[in-house]
Amino acid sequence: MNIEEGSLVLIYIDRKRKKIVRVERGREYASDRGKIDLSELIGRRYGEVVETSLGFKAYLLMPTLEDILYSFSRRTQVIYPKDVALMAIKLGAGKGKRCLEGGTGSGFVTATLSWFGCEVHTFEVRREHLETARLNLRKFGLNENVTFVKASLKEVAEVYPKEYFDLAIIDVGDPWKVIDSVWEVLKGGSSVAFWVPTFNQLEKLKAAIRGKFIWIEALEVSERRLKVEEGATRPEQFGITFTGYMAIVRKVNNK
């Protein structure tokens, strides 16, 4: 696949020196390993190797969703790809599904759901967080199927009709306070992922959903990277350890 003007390219020199750039004439990529004239990338193919001005090899790669997420500006703690990807699978995220998000933050979840093809409606009370997420998604063309709402999730039933959404991901400080509102706008049988940082919050959440949702499971996702060398493969010294807990529940109609 050829690189064109306006294409996104991951310039990869090594794990510490990689960056997504938009190819434009008159612009350059610069690092301590040298510079690359971006206009010279037009017409090349993804996967090719070029040299920087200092003679270091740089690989021209197609950015993945993970590459895009880790290039986002961040104002908040985020739900990492290892967690949000599993949520999306467990909830059945996919093209055309209407998804409610509570707590936009920096846009990691929003972007992932958009990438999966969902119609995303994301609620955030802080304007600066909403603007950061909006800019992050717009930069990579992931904003077209996203509606940003500056409001508390408690108000969702005032904005959307009953049983409007197919799934939801909720990352707010006191999730038990939005149970009734979320229940109103979800279709019967729909799945919700709640994200919380402590066991106490999991316990309080489980008590709060009774009669409106059934508790499917609670879990955390561990990720351990490996340093691979012949005869000396071992876990890397640093990495992402604890990030939080997800609770998966499903809406029921107990009447």
* pLDDT by 10s per residue, the chain, length 255: 899 999 999 999 999 999 999 999 999 999 999 999 999 999 999 999 999 999 999 999 999 999 999 999 998 899 999 999 999 999 999 999 999 999 999 999 999 999 999 999 999 999 999 999 999 999 999 999 999 999 999 999 999 999 999 999 999 999 999 999 999 999 999 999 999 999 999 999 999 999 999 999 999 999 999 999 999 999 998 877 789 999 999 999 875
pLDDT at 255: 54
| Token code pair at residue 180 | 């009734």
8-63 is a CATH 3.40.50.360 domain? no
Q: Which CATH superfamily is domain 67-251 in?
A: Vaccinia Virus protein VP39 (3.40.50.150)
Closest CA to 166 of 251, 59, 53, 47: 251
Q: Which residues pair with 168 in a beta bridge?
A: 100, 192
pLDDT at 7: 96
pLDDT at 240: 78
Chain mean position to CA 21: 19
171 is in an annotated binding site: yes
pLDDT at 163: 97
121 is in an annotated binding site: no
| Total residues found in the chain within this entry | 255
Domain ranges of the chain: 8-63, 67-251
67 is in an annotated binding site: no
C-alpha 162/C-alpha 221 separation (Å) is 33
Closest CA to 82 of 243, 226, 194, 191: 243
